[in-house]
Structure 1
Amino acid sequence: MNATQQTANQLLASLGVRNVLGFFLVLARITPLFIVAPLFSSRQIPARARTIVALAIALGLYPLAIAGQTLPDGVVPIVGLVVKELLVGLAFALCIAVLFAAIDTAGALLDFMVGFAFGATVDPMTGNNSAVLTRVYTLVAIAIFIAINGDAWLIQGLSRTFDLVPLSAFPDFASIGEGVVATFTTIFASAVQVAAPVIIACVLTDAGFGVVSRVVPQMNVFAVGFPVKVLVGLLVVAASLPFVGGWISDQLTVSVSQALDTVRMG
């Protein structure tokens, strides 16, 4: 035990307490990104790989984060800074996760409208039960996120938070809470924007079969209407996916901007 403690003390002396403390504070702000943010928190990525990536990002960002900062020596102030870093990182990650929450909500709405909600299965990306269109929209969103270098945008946005909220400063947590809540209130509106073409097509299809059932009452509308509604829904989904891709690309920029505005010091 003495040999291990002596080795640790030598390592701290060689690296510098300030550098080690700055590294762990930066790591604390990065950690929520790998818990709730899209792609970074995916269960398809092994936990060991996510840990290595988080350590690598922290190692690259901490020299910039500690530049010109005066870090405390006491245990209580250090614990306070760690908690603050976790909260700031969580606020940033939650604002980004809202984008994919809107995509999932849009897929769930469409599954309900088209009739695929009865066939819910486990989504490998999130581990939750989801139906066909929810999984399709989630996979398309992930593919677009990777194609437009969304991961690089998130890392760049996260690095900007160290300018807005330095390591040694405390933000207005009430303002951060209000910003996160305001961002979450946009989920349903964004989901309706994504799903609107398919919802309108399904409503018009139902209205059309309602008219047909009045004109030809002997027709079994439920037997004929369900496959037609599925066909119409899939055709409109296929036609609208390119526009959904453009929406995701634009909304990612907005989400990063909203995340930075949320963590900005009051």
Structure 2
Amino acid sequence: MVEVTFAQLHGWLVAFLWPFTRITAFFMASPLWGHSSVPNQVKIGLGALLAVVVAPTLPPMPDIPVMSWAGLGVMVEQVLIGISLGIVTRVMFAAVQAAGEFIGLQMGLAFATFFSPDTGANSMVLSRIFYMIALLMFLALNGHLIVIEILATTFDTLPIGLGRFNAGGFEMLARFGSTIFLSGMLLALPLVGSLLIINLSLGILNRAAPQLTIFSIGFPMSLITGIILLMVLMTDYQRFLERLFTETLFFMQDMLDTLAPLN
């Protein structure tokens, strides 16, 4: 007869629960797995599956009861690590969405918005198109597999029951938020600069010849020029996304190394 003791049950629970918490927190915060169209049952099931897979490879667990204040602290620690990684991936895709917002505003497409279920707010059509292309490109380059591999290696860099973090890692995460504006503006700058020159030229022409209906031809001209420049921009969009993905993945690893406490 097989007998299972309470200590064995507690060891199995600890080996599953704490990795499951970190993985699930990452899935909830990331834009790919945390999308509103993905059912919560799928997120929890995928997190449980990955927790079962990585559990045998983890270092020894701390001797901390689950139902204790120390166990609650370990749980919060896992949530913080998972959410931090999810925020990094969300910032990466937010930079692409910001570029679509900048271009749409300059082209006069500010009114072309619709409700986005993943953000819970209205988003521009160009922003949504850029986001979907970036998401598909991320999957095509196996970026999701690389992110899951980085998530699995976090248990070696930041073992369970670490107890403390290096505050410099969270400072890096806060500064990484500037990527939304920096990378988004770099992507949108060719179109924004060209359309700004057109708008300035139309403004000068309107002052020089007020009898001309400049504003009646300004919007079609900006829209047509923006579409043509957008076609040109798409030829270099893949290279921009590859660089953005590479920088984000390297930053993710650097942030994890920085979060480890100093000895």
Normalising by structure 2, we get a TM-score of: 0.89
Distance 1:13 1:249, change over 3 A: farther
1:246 aligns with 2:236: no
- The Cα shift of 1:242 comes to 3.5
Gaps (5+ residues) in structure 2?
none
- The aligned runs of 1:217-256 (5 Å cut-off) are 217-256=210-249
Amino acid at match of 1:73: P
- The Cα shift of 1:36 comes to 2.1
Check conservation: 2:24, 2:47, Cα contact below 8 A.
yes
Structure 2 partner of 1:116: 109
Percent of pairs with identical residues: 24
User: What is the alpha-carbon distance in structure 2 between the residues aligned to residue 15 and residue 129 of structure 1?
Assistant: 51
- The Cα shift of 1:235 comes to 1.6
Output one character per residue of 1:83-117: Cα deviation in whole Å (capped at 9) or x when no partner: 11111111111112111111111111112111111
User: What is the alpha-carbon distance in structure 1 between the residues aligned to residue 79 and residue 222 of structure 2?
Assistant: 47
- The Cα shift of 1:214 comes to 4.4
User: What is the alpha-carbon distance in structure 2 between the residues aligned to residue 85 and residue 225 of structure 1?
Assistant: 54
- The aligned runs of 1:1-266 (5 Å cut-off) are 16-65=9-58, 67-73=59-65, 75-264=68-257, 265-266=260-261
- The Cα shift of 1:212 comes to 3.2
User: What is the alpha-carbon distance in structure 2 between the residues aligned to residue 112 and residue 228 of structure 1?
Assistant: 14
Deviating 4+ runs (over 4 angstroms): 10-15
Output one character per residue of 1:165-209: Cα deviation in whole Å (capped at 9) or x when no partner: 011323425223212111112321111011111111211221332
Amino acid at match of 2:256: V
SS in 2 for 1:31: helix
User: What is the alpha-carbon distance in structure 2 between the residues aligned to residue 235 and residue 249 of structure 1?
Assistant: 23
- The Cα shift of 1:15 comes to 6.3
User: What is the alpha-carbon distance in structure 2 between the residues aligned to residue 82 and residue 12 of structure 1?
Assistant: 24
Amino acid at match of 2:76: V
The number of equivalent residue pairs is: 256
RMSD of aligned Cα (Å): 2.1
User: What is the alpha-carbon distance in structure 1 between the residues aligned to residue 194 and residue 139 of structure 2?
Assistant: 30
User: What is the alpha-carbon distance in structure 2 between the residues aligned to residue 17 and residue 46 of structure 1?
Assistant: 30
Structure (1 or 2) with the greater helix fraction? 1
Gaps (5+ residues) in structure 1?
1-9
User: What is the alpha-carbon distance in structure 2 between the residues aligned to residue 202 and residue 158 of structure 1?
Assistant: 42
User: What is the alpha-carbon distance in structure 1 between the residues aligned to residue 8 and residue 225 of structure 2?
Assistant: 64
Amino acid at match of 1:190: S
Distance 1:163 1:125, change over 3 A: same
User: What is the alpha-carbon distance in structure 2 between the residues aligned to residue 238 and residue 53 of structure 1?
Assistant: 38
Distance 1:208 1:102, change over 3 A: same
Check conservation: 2:28, 2:43, Cα contact below 8 A.
no
Normalising by structure 1, we get a TM-score of: 0.88
SS in 2 for 1:117: coil
SS in 2 for 1:43: coil
